[in-house]
Amino acid sequence: MIRSIINSILIGTLGGALAVGCYLAVGLATHRQNDGLSRLVDYIVLTPRAVPGLMAGLAVFWVFLFVPFLAPARSTLFSVWFAYAVVWLAYGMRLIQSALMQVGPELEEAGRLVGASRARVSRDITVPLIRNGLLGAWLLVFMIFEREYSTGVYLLSPGTEVIGAQIVSLWASGAVDVVAALSLINMALVGIGLAVALRFGVKLHD
């Protein structure tokens, strides 16, 4: 029970941040690139959301089952995180891209002109400017990961339970009081995440 709470916290905070980092990497790679590949990526990132989370989870389960070097990671929290990150890729990318689009193109061009490569411009100009957008993206991804369970159904094993899955199985066994307690804890965790994000400058309104 405690383990499921810790797992949920880990996957929400660290996993959420890691996922935002991955989305950011994809976002920067295609940022203001108008070639065919970038446009293809824009569509490809939508596909994981085109199937139910349960099926996407199953697909990830198979990947971890049949790709040899991934097999040892199948029963770790990494596989759960991987499934979450893939399934919510479409949402995450939208968040990142809308933040990136708000950076004036001339701010990046000015960086190029004074001698910075694309990578340097991303590191020194683009990313610092979308810091708040990234925090906002993390907050949303954190809240999703914190309560998500259906995607991970096939991947959950002893040791990698999350609160959501725990609640479902406890409900089936009739332990309503524990379900209520876990739900409260889950809500409290989301509240703490929100407070942290607000503390670091995320604005929910003007």
Partner 1 sequence: MTDKTILSVDNLALSYGSNPILKGVSMQLRRGEVVSLLGPSGSGKTTLLRAVAGLEQPHHGSVSIAGRAIYDAAAGIDIPAEKRDLGLVFQSYALWPHKTVFDNVAYPLKLRKVGQNEITQRVHAALKNLGLDHLAERYPHQLSGGQQQRVSIARALVYNPPVILLDEPLSNLDAKMREEARAWLRNLIVEMQLSALVVTHDQSEAMAMSDRILLLNGGVIEQQGTPTEMYGQPQTYFVADFMGSNNIMNGRIGDIKGGEARIDLDNGISVWGLRRTNAAIGHEAKAVIRVEQARLADAGGHNRAELDLATSMFLGDRYEYVFHAGPDLLRAWGKGHEAPGRRWLELPADAVWIF
Give the interface with partner 1 as residue ranges (CB under 8 A). Answer: 104, 106-107, 109-117, 120, 124-125, 128-129
Instruction: Considering the complex, state which of residue 22 and residue 125 has its C-beta at the smaller distance from partner 1.
Output: 125
**Using an 8 Å Cβ cutoff, are 128 and 136 in contact?**
no
Instruction: Considering the complex, state which of residue 119 and residue 204 has its C-beta at the smaller distance from partner 1.
Output: 119
CA dist., res. 157 & res. 74, Å (int): 9
CB of 36 to partner 1, least distance (A): 14
Task: Fill in the DSSP letter of residue 51.
Answer: S
* Count of CA atoms in the C-beta half-sphere (13 A) of 94: 8
CB of 38 to partner 1, least distance (A): 15
CB of 103 to partner 1, least distance (A): 10
Instruction: Considering the complex, state which of residue 132 and residue 183 has its C-beta at the smaller distance from partner 1.
Output: 132
CA dist., res. 96 & res. 101, Å (int): 9
CB of 32 to partner 1, least distance (A): 11
Instruction: Considering the complex, state which of residue 107 and residue 176 has its C-beta at the smaller distance from partner 1.
Output: 107
